[in-house]
Amino acid sequence: MKPSFTVSIIDKSSQDEDPLQLPQSDLISTSTKSHSFLTNYFDNATKEDWEDWRWQIANSATTLDRLSDFLDLSEDEIKSFDSLKDFFPLRVTPYYLSLIQKDNPNDPLRKTVVPIINEHIHSSVEKEDPLNEDEHTPVEGIIHRYPDRVLFLVTGFCSTYCRYCTRSRLVGHKNICNIDCIENAISYIEKNTQIRDVIISGGDPLTLQDFEIEYILSKLRRIPHIEIIRIGTKVPVVLPQRITTNLVNILKKYHPLFMSIHFTHFNELTEETKQACERLADAGIPLGSQTVLLKDINDNVETMTKLMQGLLKIRVKPYYLYQCDPILGSSHFRTKVEKGLEIIKGLRGFTSGYAIPNFVIDSPGGGGKIPLLPEYFIGKDENNLLLKNYEDKIFKYPDYL
Ligand code: SF4
């Protein structure tokens, strides 16, 4: 079966059909927890179906009716669907649903993917495009904010939609990518020789077919001034079955290739996600995490410590902790900035330095990422800097030669 879930950017007629029919050993194996979810909810599906990423996408929940087969929905969640058709669509893979508690509306992962009525409340500080990305779009599919690097949006599709998505104005709504757009975007990158770093994003680029991914990577790699390629994705977290050996063999041909993986909560650190990340790391792909700080989901030191330490165990280096962008309908997700500083203060000194992400605000209006740190520098006397350590003890550093 070939579900028509995504916009194919290339004419497939000349491609081999079904490149993902791999031997069993190439698939991400199913945990006991996933297997019991499969047998409870999918009468006619097999373990092999579950391990096929295309089956996962074809069987994702996209409607209220389907979602209510898996979760006991609250009044609030049900009501939010009255206007959902005009807003950001719903989509959750069966695998990610298996991680969510059926009868708990406060389950942290559930709150990131199931809409509530607050999503339809728009405050005056919120904007559809708070980072002014559209103004930094010289050609369709490219966001060019910093001189030496660009974001390359190759699809508007994700296997699971996060309700707080910064790009919800594009993602899930429009076909933001077709072959002409891809070719124009690549020409733009070719002509602008100051670009040395391309971040392939969307939507989720790893929802494209293997040959589409290879097409884009090979075109970029042929451009002499492109030094590094990065892929931004949530696939290893919401659809780990997609990390097939075939895909990894393609990715590793285009080094130096980095991957930024979107994690939210330690409940995402499952056996399947571990296999997916280890497979990518074994292929020499440096993995970094990106996490959005979300109210009543991951906004405390204990949760964040568990997530960051857990990421290191699966070979993902915590990279960014983002203050949630003020997109329309996001007030129930946003915390005060102090909360992020409190979390960084609760990590620094109390766990490995490798486990500490950079806390940043993507500045509204398009000024780029601005790092924020708790106050460790507290002043100076004639010859010394006065510095505060993680235990709030003051130390003097002789700052003279
Ligand atoms: S995976 Fe990324 S692009 Fe897709 S909905 Fe989530 S935040 Fe948006």
User: Which atom of ligand 1 sits closest to the CA of residue 164?
Assistant: 7
At 89, which amino acid appears? P
Can you tell me which atom of ligand 1 is nearest the CA of 232? 2
| Residue whose CA lies nearest to ligand 1 atom number 6 | 162
> How far is Cα 202 from Cα 262, in angstroms, rounded to an integer?
13
Domain boundary assignment for the chain:
24-118
Question: Could you tell me which residues come within 8 angstroms of residue 44 by beta carbon, excluding any fewer than 6 positions away?
Answer: none
Per-residue pLDDT in tens (0 to 9) along the chain, 401 residues: 333 334 444 443 444 444 444 444 588 899 999 999 999 999 999 999 999 999 999 999 999 999 999 999 999 999 999 876 667 899 999 999 999 999 999 999 999 999 999 999 999 999 999 999 999 999 999 999 999 999 999 999 999 999 999 999 989 876 667 889 999 999 999 999 999 999 999 899 999 999 999 999 999 999 999 999 999 999 999 999 999 999 999 999 999 999 999 999 999 999 999 999 999 999 999 999 999 999 999 999 999 999 999 999 999 999 999 999 999 999 999 999 999 999 999 999 999 999 999 999 999 888 899 999 999 999 999 999 999 999 999 999 999 88
Q: Does the Cβ of 165 fall within 6 Å of ligand 1?
A: yes
Under a CB-based contact definition with an 8 Å cutoff, are residues 203 and 155 in contact?
Answer: yes
Residues with active-site annotation: 145-146, 149, 158, 162, 165, 167, 325, 362, 369
Q: What is the rounded distance in angstroms from the CA atom of residue 364 to the CA atom of residue 130? A: 5
pLDDT for 85: 66
Q: What is the pLDDT of residue 193?
A: 98
Distance 400 CA to ligand 1 centre (A): 48
Ligand 1 neighbourhood includes 167 CB (under 6 angstroms): yes
Residue 111 CA, ligand 1 centroid: distance in Å: 14
Q: Going by CA atoms, what residue is nearest to atom 7 of ligand 1?
A: 165
> pTM for this one?
0.93
Instruction: Quote helix, strand, coil % in the chain, to nearest 5.
Output: 35, 15, 45
Give the DSSP letter string of 107-158.
-HHHHHHS--GGGG---TT-BSSTT-TGGG-SSTTEEEEETTEEEEE--S--
DSSP character for 313? Answer: H
Nearest-angstrom CA–CA distance, 137 and 114:
30
CA angle 287, 292, 295 (to 5 degrees): 145
